[in-house]
Amino acid sequence: MPFLGVHFTRGIDDVVEAGPNAVLALKREGYSWKDVSLTDMSDMAAFPGFWRMMRRQWRTGVSEMQRSLSRKRFLESLQSLVPALTDADIERGGSGVRAQAVGADGRLIDDFHIQIVPGMVNVLNAPSPAATASLAIGREISERILAMRTAA
């Protein structure tokens, strides 16, 4: 799985955030369970790779949804790293949406996927926020752009 698993992150404000849960968003920018887009859901359903991915990953998906909806299960997953945590130690935080590229064969693309088409270099999958700022990846993209210009 291309997901980080449960982890703790201390912010510059000294607040420690815990997470994540990897659940399917029912809207491209759906930050809560109430955010639903029939258009976005039909786009997903129309892509054969989605159904292939679901056949492979349904158990993980169900487990992640249960952990997302159950405070008790979420706490238990955090306690696998910090056993002394109690319910009183946690409070609900914000959520985010991370795009996940899925291949036509249903594979989760867990690395950068860079596509070159005439006149463009497209980064189709950037799985890590830290990696999106990586100098090495920036260098790779700039080299591909320069190669396109010299080939033209």
pTM (two decimals): 0.72
Mean predicted confidence (pLDDT) in 97-105: 87
**For the chain, what is the radius of gyration of the CA atoms?**
19
Contact between 75 and 85 (Cβ < 8 Å):
yes
Contact between 57 and 95 (Cβ < 8 Å):
no
If pLDDT is split at 50, 70 and 90, which confidence band does 56 have?
very high
29 beta partners: none
pLDDT score recorded for residue 82: 94
Exposed, middle or buried by CB within 10 Å (0-12, 13-18, 19+), for 37? middle
Same domain, yes or no: 7 and 78: yes
Range of the domain at 13: 1-102
- Report the alpha-carbon distance of residue 4 to residue 8 in Å, rounded: 11
Same domain, yes or no: 137 and 82: no
Write the pLDDT tens digit of every residue in 89-98: 999 888 877 7
Same domain, yes or no: 75 and 120: no
